[in-house]
């Protein structure tokens, strides 16, 4: 696209007087080089090169950090391994902080998601729910996280969370609506409705606290969310953020 619009402009410019001699040739050469550099810059800004790994940051709480598991057993590490096994070049960084809330993650967003990040998986809300934080507070923090990442041209996958039944139907309804509402308001946002889908409340896939997944539990999470992450990577590759 840009190759057709930039280079012919130089070639079609007015002919220079013959008395300019070698200087005229140099001017045209410099113009061609400048046009080629402009094309390279524009192309580089559209999407990452196909041979460069897509840089993903997993921004979350202990479910992302991998509480009770070795570093290579945490969700980000296992997700990267699963994607690479499918021939998808990625680097997945672990920006999970145990005990973090959506508001806490917002406060550390800029240094948790460094420059050069292509995509972010936002896994937050579990601690907000367990502490009974007003869903409006959680909603506002998540909305601001999404807004700031989108403003930076970073693709976002939002992982939803469900409320514990003992918090009551009203709280559960208001809390769980946060994630679908944010996705509905932002057409560029990918949504995975429930991060612990297929794992929550299954004693075989959770540690003794009943809250944090075992190694097998993380494998189950990765297997279920993988298609959505592949879609996220595809958006990055095609510059659709």
Q: Would you call 174 a catalytic residue per the annotation? A: no
Q: Pick the catalytic residue: 62, 100, 112, 128?
A: 62
Please give, one letter per residue, the 3-state secondary structure of 103-161.
Answer: HHHHHCHHHHCCCCCCEEEEECCHHHHHCCCCHHHHHHHHHHHHHHHHHCCCEEEEECC
209 is catalytic: yes
From the candidates 19, 51, 170, 209, give the one annotated as an active-site residue.
Answer: 209
Please give the positions annotated as active site: 62, 209, 212
């Amino acid at each position: 696209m840009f190759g057709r619009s930039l280079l012919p402009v130089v070639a079609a410019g007015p002919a220079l007087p013959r008395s300019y001699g070698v200087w005229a040739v140099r001017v045209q050469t410099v113009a061609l080089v400048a046009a080629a550099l402009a094309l390279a810059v524009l192309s580089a800004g559209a999407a990452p090169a196909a041979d460069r790994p897509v840089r993903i940051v997993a921004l979350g709480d202990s479910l992302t950090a991998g509480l009770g598991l070795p570093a290579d057993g945490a969700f980000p590490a296992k997700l990267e391994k699963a994607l690479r096994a499918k021939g998808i070049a990625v680097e997945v960084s672990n920006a999970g902080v145990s005990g973090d809330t959506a508001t806490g993650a917002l406060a550390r967003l800029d240094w948790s998601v460094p420059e050069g990040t292509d995509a972010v998986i936002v896994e937050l809300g579990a601690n907000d729910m367990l502490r009974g934080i007003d869903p409006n507070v959680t909603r506002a923090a998540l909305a601001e996280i999404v807004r700031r990442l989108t403003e930076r041209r970073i693709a976002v996958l939002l992982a939803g969370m469900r409320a514990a039944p003992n918090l009551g139907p009203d709280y559960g309804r208001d809390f769980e609506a946060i994630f679908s509402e944010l996705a509905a308001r932002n057409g560029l946002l990918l949504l995975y409705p429930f991060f612990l889908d297929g794992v929550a409340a299954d004693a075989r896939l959770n540690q003794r606290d009943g809250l944090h997944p075992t190694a097998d539990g993380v494998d189950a999470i990765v297997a279920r969310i993988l298609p959505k992450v592949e879609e996220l990577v595809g958006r990055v590759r095609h510059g659709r953020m």
